[in-house]
Structure 1
């Protein structure tokens, strides 16, 4: 049986990861670099695992990330307890860090935050990340909650389904007339395409789903890493792209976009994952997000 984890050593490990070096952590903790190094080594001996990669900046190993996440959760519980007891700093707002994908942030997520009650006072710290990668920020303990495409809970987290975000394949009328006259799969595979970034494979997956085989979308790819700018780039005729339906519908009605492969779309399931903490602030945010998602996303059966 592993002995209890000394909290001063766990907090020191977190400081080293957050500050990036042993010297910077020592300054933040008002300790000597030697004392910081000794605490980390003692924690590694106690757990029987290497917890840090001694690089610049320092990075936690997989085992270290578990303890870093624990340290952040411990700090969160400490602040909540102090607030409920009315101790020093009780008047400060609670900070809730959330990872959210750009399309949710641009369409429905901010309306969720408007639903959060004014008490307890909350400061939101949003980190934009692709829905396929937000879970990694949870795993590293960098955020308390995330909108993610993964239904598999990160260790120490709970998961709730939010719904499905629908994406439509669209292009400007002029672009469609110039580039997309042939069979949809072949035409889309050959035509210039707009993608969010180098990790965005939504357009490639759609081409394959149409019957494009192993082929991806065109090699002529415009990278536009902002949700509103992405839709604007497609409407401007730079290429075709998969645009969230809530953004595409007004442009379709205005005649600035046309649908490609009518009757076909791509649905991306979204989930809410959060730390398993009895935190009033985090619970209030979760309830608001789930309620807003229910009004703005498609349920699994639709």
Structure 2
């Protein structure tokens, strides 16, 4: 089955912009022309390809065509560059918040130094990362799942280590002998998908305390813990300077958690995607540890 490139481009514009009208403005078409292109594509495939919701999204039948459209756009931009055009290659990538706040940052500098790609980052938890890859919404992702999405290749990056910590004042308030009152000391979580703190609590056989604060930003999560709002599990790269300064202290009996990270990317030839993969692998050298991951079932924060 052959597909019309203009129709694929229209499908991609609808899913990225969220509405038919917004896609029409981006493509400099009338909304009627956009609808006609999608209807023609749906008639060709015999499937409904777009959910007419707000925002509009590709259906399961439309996801393979969305992936194809994104790959075609990437390859077209790269071909234009090779022919002397100053085309900018679009690189949608999913990454978790803690990675973006720590080891992933040199990737941003490497992409900036080349100046040939537009990096579009989406913050995503593990389950949604897989959905973004499967649906073709991103070309690559940092994930904690070693199982490759169909059509993708996967490589281990290293281990991000987390440790539970709190302010010394908070630990003093909730001290219980040489430990802390795990059932009462306030807790900070990233969002409802953040189960890292629950892994620590499970080790001590207690549920979440009555006071649970939600702070869905990696930098602000750290600030919340530093302010004494509650204890939280922090990436070691963020935590070490705070321990050295005395602003934070490790929780007594709170062992570290290791999460192994992987890089998944679509399996097709692309010089730009290969450059990005190289950048990620170089930056991920900061994650290399002699220890093996503990396999604690924790998942990445989005």
1:255 maps to 2:246? yes
- Counterpart CA distance in 1 for 2:217 and 2:54 is 30
SS at match of 1:155: coil
Of 217-226 and 284-293, the range deviating more from structure 2: 217-226
Q: Is the 8 A contact 1:117 1:284 kept in 2?
A: no
Query: Can you give the 5+ residue segments of structure 1 that lack an aligned partner in the other structure?
Result: none
Confirm or deny: 8 A CA contact 1:163 1:300 kept in the other structure: no
Q: Does 1:148 align with 2:177?
A: no
Deviation of 1:27 after TM superposition, in Å, equals 4.1
Q: Is the 8 A contact 1:152 1:159 kept in 2?
A: yes
Q: 1:175 aligns with which of 148, 155, 170?
A: 170
Deviation, 1:159, is 1.2
Q: Counterpart in 2 of 1:203?
A: 197
Cα distance in 2 between the residues matched to 1:42 and 1:171 = 59
TM-score under structure 1 normalisation?
0.86
Residue 48 (structure 2) aligned to one of 43, 50, 74 = 50
Question: For the residues of structure 2 that align with 1:19 and 1:228, how far apart are their CA atoms?
Answer: 29
- What is the CA-CA distance between 1:182 and the residue it aligns to? 6.0
Distance change in 2, residues 1:145/1:46 (3 Å): same
Consecutive unaligned residues in structure 2, runs of 5 or more:
294-302
Residue 70, structure 1, aligned to residue 72, structure 2: no
**SS of match in other structure, 2:53:** coil
Residue 111 of structure 1 and its aligned partner are, at CA, apart by: 2.0
2:266 is aligned, of 275, 278, 281, to 275
Match of 1:288 in 2: 279
Query: Structure 1 residue 244: deviation in Å?
Result: 0.8
Structure 2 CA distance for aligned equivalents of residues 132 and 55 of structure 1:
22
What pairs with 1:117-196 in structure 2 (closer than 5 Å)? 118-119=113-114, 121-181=116-176, 187-196=181-190
2:103, 2:283 within 8 Å by CA — same for their partners in 1? yes
SS at match of 1:249: helix
**Post-superposition offset of 1:35:** 3.7
What CA deviation, in whole Å up to 9, does each residue of 1:247-267 have, x standing for no partner?
112212222222124361111
Tell me, what secondary structure is at the counterpart of 1:211? Answer: coil
CA RMSD of aligned residues (A): 2.5
Does structure 2 retain, via aligned residues, the 8 Å contact 1:120–1:280? no
Q: Deviations over 1:179-230 (max 9, x none)?
A: 141696x832332101112221211122113333xx3x22311112222221
Q: Distance in 2 between matches of 1:241 and 1:200?
A: 11
